[in-house]
């Protein structure tokens, strides 16, 4: 009989916890407890955005969620920018973390920002800066992120919100802990093409890489398949710790 796990799903830029809405039910149906919070300053919490809200605030938020709910043996799942957040959380409270699943995500080392991982993003995001609030940048069209289905685009596009510049510029603390000791699995979205080099690097270090023939926004385009892959990734984490 499979072990019930606690998943904390951390979203990326421009979205909120809503982006996991079709991933959560199959995970819960498999007997797992699932949390899918919205990060401060984006999604339905966009009204809380200020120039001071960044990566460290998001790490504080998710760390607090784990501690307040006394969660243990947590599988942290980070998509895209969410990879920055889950790395910080795992470095801060490793005793509560069973492992990390990065879904087409940033996999930072201590002291790195998202811009350090993908330097070309700085110019791409700067071009999207809002003139009246330059500490925010506008969402990219979902077509540019691999969402081909028009119905999905029509549903999700009105829910997108600007992203916080400080979140992608702020660096993971240098004392984030030895993340190499945290069991890790990477899920590569092969049609996303953002994190191909990350996957190559992780494979060279012996970290399992699961590949999906999907675009970057896989939680929107193939939520059921992603839920199945997350469960498969949890099996990989079990082998790493076993």
**C-alpha to C-alpha distance for 103 and 122, rounded to whole angstroms:** 21
- How far CA 144 is from CA of 109, 153, 164, 215, in Å, comes to 27, 11, 19, 10
Instruction: Please identify which residue in the block is written with the tokens 């920018």.
Output: 81
Q: How many helices (H) and strands (E) does the chain have?
A: 10, 9
Concerning whether 13 is annotated as a catalytic residue, the answer is no
Q: Which helix (H) or strand (E) holds 7?
A: strand 6-10
**C-alpha to C-alpha distance for 58 and 38, rounded to whole angstroms:** 10
**C-alpha to C-alpha distance for 127 and 163, rounded to whole angstroms:** 13
Q: What secondary structure does DSSP assign to 84-149, as a single string?
A: HHHHHHHHH-GGGEEEEEEES---PPTT--HHHHSTTHHHHHHTTEETTEEEEEPPPPGGGGT---
- From 80, 180, 204, 222, active-site residue: 80
**C-alpha to C-alpha distance for 74 and 98, rounded to whole angstroms:** 5
Helix, strand, or coil (residue 176):
coil
For the chain, the farthest-separated pair of C-alpha atoms sits apart, in whole angstroms, at: 55
Any idea which residues carry the catalytic annotation?
80
């Amino acid at each position: 009989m499979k072990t019930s796990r606690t998943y904390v799903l951390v979203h990326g830029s421009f979205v909120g916890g809503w982006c996991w809405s079709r991933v959560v039910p199959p995970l819960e149906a498999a007997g797992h407890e699932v949390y899918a919070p919205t990060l401060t300053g984006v999604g339905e919490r966009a009204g809380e955005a200020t120039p001071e809200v960044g990566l460290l605030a998001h790490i504080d938020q998710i760390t607090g969620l784990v501690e307040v709910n006394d969660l243990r043996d947590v599988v942290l799942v980070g998509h895209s920018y969410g990879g920055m957040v889950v790395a910080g959380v795992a470095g801060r409270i490793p005793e509560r973390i069973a492992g990390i699943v990065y879904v087409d995500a940033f996999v930072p080392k201590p002291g790195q920002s998202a811009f350090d991982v993908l330097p070309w993003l700085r110019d791409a995001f700067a071009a999207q800066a809002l003139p009246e609030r330059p500490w925010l940048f506008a969402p990219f069209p979902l077509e540019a992120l691999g969402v081909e289905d028009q119905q999905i685009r029509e549903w999700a596009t009105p829910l997108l919100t600007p992203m916080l510049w400080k979140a992608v510029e702020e660096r993971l603390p240098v004392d984030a802990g030895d993340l190499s000791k945290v069991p890790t699995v990477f899920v590569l979205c092969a049609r996303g093409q953002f994190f191909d080099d990350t996957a190559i690097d992780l494979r060279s270090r012996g970290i399992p890489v699961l590949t999906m023939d999907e675009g970057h926004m896989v939680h929107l385009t193939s939520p059921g398949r992603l839920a199945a892959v997350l469960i498969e990734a949890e099996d990989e984490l079990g082998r790493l710790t076993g």
